Amino acid sequence: MLAERYPYYLANRPKQPNAELAVTDKYSGEVVTHVALADAGAVEEAIAAAVRATGPMRRLAPYARQEVLEHCARRFRERAEEFALALCIEAGKPLRDARGEVTRLIDTFKAAAEEAVRNEGEVLNLEVSPRAAGYRGFTQRVPVGPCSFITPFNFPLNLVAHKVAPAIAAGCPFVLKPSDRTPVSAMLMAEVLAETALPEGAFSVLPTRLADVGPFIEDERLKLLSFTGSEKVGWELKARAGRKKVVLELGGNAACVVDHDQGERLDFVADRVAHGAFYQAGQSCISVQRVLVHESLYGALRERLVARARALRSGNPRDETTTLGPMIDEPAARRLQGWIERAVARGARVLAGGGRRGALLEATVLEGVPADEPLSAEEAFGPVVLLEPFRAFDEAVRAVNDGRYGLQAGLFTNELSKAMRAWDELEVGGVIVGDVPSFRVDTMPYGGVKGSGLGREGVKYAIEDMTEPRLLVLRQG
Ligand code: NAD
């Protein structure tokens, strides 16, 4: 169960000046706890403390950073069930999805603990011409300094971890603003961070009103802004971020291609597509939204997918048998239902689902959705999947690329040449062959192109952003 109230964390310490942020159970809609809200003064204090912690964090020995990360991973393991329940309540995530996220949280910290003691430096041969005879170069990576992190509601633990764990491994102090809809998970993580020997000021976790969030984006003392969230907000923040580095992990309308040679394993394909489309009510940036199916298999896959959508058990996420929970709130579900109705008015057909009870939207399968409808062209971010037949593989490639997003794409094919072509031609951050675009492990480079973002996460890749190479040149003789 959740505590009655949670503090925020300012310069490693819990503070409870108020309890103004109400957090609801996303299934019942009831207020279940309150979290302290940081005001402009607290944000300033946190940034100043992070600046003071820059030297101590840089000097913290790699083994000491590793110990901090290992401690966290150990404590997360011990508290796994409690964390999963918090996710289940504040994000409306079915317990099995919530437990999966806690497992990934632990993976992310374990990966960061390993990276913390790796030396990514280079030895450079500088003797490119006679004038450089006797010179050699070396690089080491040094932390960029204080970082600013802003995170979304849909993975309130693991997407916080994807910023926090690499920052500790890299030696960067940070200030973090979690989503105001799901702040509790980040507070539980901060509780564990506060048990460690991180230098004072190394971390602040501050739920903040939008009116007070400006310094997270604009303050020049912060050297990197890493934002995960919606496309519109992300690009707006980049325009305000001044000289700092910016990493944007934004939305998508991920597509999955099913080629003609998948007949033998169509049940597996249908299982994976249904999982990719409907897990955590489709509220994942790489949720399967568009499925392009070779015309020879279209009817057979449609039948299987409809059956799987209807078989999902929707309801209370705390119930162990629930496989489809609510969307984050009723307006989000209403928005998506409106998009479905718009598409139907233009000739789309609902094959399964379409109904809604409060924030619970049924798992919905449609076909015949025009490509310029929001349901196809925008990010649905809910339990909805669109089917579309194709004839020639090139047509499918064009359809995947048609649009302004490019996070990941999935491709089911047995032909290596098509896999390679997709890898070369698809305008996305990652191509997943043999599975849905929703596949992610926490060590792989992850991120998008086009409207879907800028830069990559995945522990090692985030550390690259949080450090910069510093050159040493040695002249001999
Ligand atoms: P959101 O953009 O509404 O909010 C994200 C964060 O930004 C929250 O903390 C929010 O409070 C804050 N925020 C909102 N407006 C702001 C402003 N004007 N200034 C400063 N901060 C502001 O996104 P959301 O609804 O919480 O999350 C869903 C979105 O996140 C989807 O678009 C999803 O695709 C995307 N997402 C992307 C990834 C990825 O890794 N690419 C992962 C998960 C979610």
Q: Which of 151, 235, 285 to mutate to test the pocket of ligand 1 (most atoms within 8 A of CB)?
A: 285
Residue nearest to atom 16 of ligand 1 (CA): 233
Counting atoms of ligand 1 from 1, which one is nearest the CA of 251?
34
Name, in order, each residue with C-beta under 8 angstroms of 283's C-beta and a sequence gap of 6 or more. Answer: 154, 327, 328, 381, 382
Per DSSP, the three-state class of 199 is coil
Look up the CATH number of the domain holding residue 166.
Answer: 3.40.605.10
Q: How far is the CA of 233 from the centre of ligand 1 (A)?
A: 7
pTM of the model: 0.97
| Ligand 1 pocket residue status of 210, Cβ below 6 Å | yes
| Ligand 1 pocket residue status of 405, Cβ below 6 Å | no
Q: Which of 23, 151, 233, 381 to mutate to test the pocket of ligand 1 (most atoms within 8 A of CB)?
A: 233
Place of tokens 């390993």: 114
| Ligand 1 pocket residue status of 103, Cβ below 6 Å | no
Kindly report the CA angle at 447 between 382 and 112, in degrees rounded to 5? 110
Q: Residue 110 domain-assigned?
A: yes
Q: How far is the CA of 231 from the centre of ligand 1 (A)?
A: 8
Place of tokens 């607290």: 42
Q: How far is the CA of 383 from the centre of ligand 1 (A)?
A: 18
| Ligand 1 pocket residue status of 179, Cβ below 6 Å | yes
Residue 349 has which token pair? 């057909």
For the residues of 123-137, what is the DSSP string, one character each?
EEE--SSGGGTTEEE
Tell whether 361 and 292 lie within a shared domain: yes
Q: Residue 445 domain-assigned?
A: no
Q: How far is the CA of 14 from the centre of ligand 1 (A)?
A: 25
Question: What confidence score (pLDDT) does residue 119 get?
Answer: 73
**Active-site annotation holder among 249, 362, 388, 457:** 249
Determine contact, residues 346/366, Cβ cutoff 8 Å: no
Per DSSP, the three-state class of 150 is strand
| Ligand 1 pocket residue status of 251, Cβ below 6 Å | yes
Ranges under pLDDT 50 in the chain: none
Counting atoms of ligand 1 from 1, which one is nearest the CA of 152?
26
Residue nearest to atom 31 of ligand 1 (CA): 230
Tell whether 90 and 105 lie within a shared domain: yes
Edge to edge, what strands does the sheet with 384-390 contain? 349-352, 364-367, 384-390, 290-294, 255-258, 408-412, 430-433
Q: Residue 67 domain-assigned?
A: yes
Tell whether 55 and 134 lie within a shared domain: yes
Whether 249 sits among the annotated catalytic residues: the reply is yes
Extract the runs of DSSP E, i.e. beta strands, from 26-75. 31-35
Extract the runs of DSSP E, i.e. beta strands, from 319-466. 349-352, 356-357, 360-361, 364-367, 384-390, 408-412, 430-433, 453-454
Counting atoms of ligand 1 from 1, which one is nearest the CA of 180?
11
Residue 197 has which token pair? 């020997």
Cα of 56 vs its chain's centroid, Å = 29
Look up the CATH number of the domain holding residue 330.
Answer: 3.40.309.10
Tell whether 126 and 215 lie within a shared domain: yes
| Ligand 1 pocket residue status of 455, Cβ below 6 Å | no
Tell me the per-residue pLDDT of 416-453, one tens digit each, with 9 for 90 and over: 999 999 999 999 999 999 999 999 999 999 999 999 99
Tell whether 323 and 394 lie within a shared domain: yes
CA–CA separation, 97 and 81 (whole Å): 12
Sign of CA dihedral 109, 110, 113, 117: negative
Q: Residue 376 domain-assigned?
A: yes
Tell whether 258 and 200 lie within a shared domain: no
Q: Which domain holds residue 126?
A: 5-250+452-473
Question: What confidence score (pLDDT) does residue 157 get?
Answer: 98
Number of domains comprising the chain:
2
Tell whether 309 and 409 lie within a shared domain: yes
Tell whether 230 and 83 lie within a shared domain: yes
| Ligand 1 pocket residue status of 280, Cβ below 6 Å | no
| Ligand 1 pocket residue status of 353, Cβ below 6 Å | no
Q: Residue 368 domain-assigned?
A: yes
The count of C-alpha atoms lying within 13 angstroms of the C-alpha of 297, restricted to the half-sphere facing its C-beta, is: 23
Tell whether 317 and 389 lie within a shared domain: yes
Residue nearest to atom 43 of ligand 1 (CA): 285
| Ligand 1 pocket residue status of 360, Cβ below 6 Å | no
Q: Residue 441 domain-assigned?
A: no
Q: Residue 439 domain-assigned?
A: no
Classify each residue of 197-221 as buried b or exposed e, where b means 16 or more C-beta atoms within 10 Å of its C-beta.
ebbebbbbbbbbeeebbebbbebee
| Ligand 1 pocket residue status of 432, Cβ below 6 Å | no
CA–CA separation, 317 and 89 (whole Å): 8
| Ligand 1 pocket residue status of 233, Cβ below 6 Å | yes
Residue nearest to atom 28 of ligand 1 (CA): 229
Per-residue HEC secondary structure of 273-327 comes to HHHHHHHHHHCCCCCCCEEEEECCCHHHHHHHHHHHHHHCCECCCCCCCCCECCC
Counting atoms of ligand 1 from 1, which one is nearest the CA of 447?
41
Tell whether 200 and 277 lie within a shared domain: no
Q: Which of 93, 148, 250 to mutate to test the pocket of ligand 1 (most atoms within 8 A of CB)?
A: 250
CA–CA separation, 167 and 165 (whole Å): 5
Question: What confidence score (pLDDT) does residue 477 get?
Answer: 78
Tell whether 236 and 266 lie within a shared domain: no
Question: What confidence score (pLDDT) does residue 1 get?
Answer: 81
Counting atoms of ligand 1 from 1, which one is nearest the CA of 177?
9
Question: What confidence score (pLDDT) does residue 322 get?
Answer: 96
CB-count burial class (<10 Å; 0-12, 13-18, 19+) for 315: middle
Determine contact, residues 201/53, Cβ cutoff 8 Å: yes
| Ligand 1 pocket residue status of 1, Cβ below 6 Å | no
Residue 351 has which token pair? 């094959």
Q: Which of 150, 182, 381 to mutate to test the pocket of ligand 1 (most atoms within 8 A of CB)?
A: 150
Q: Residue 231 domain-assigned?
A: yes
364, β-bridge pairs:
384
Tell whether 218 and 278 lie within a shared domain: no
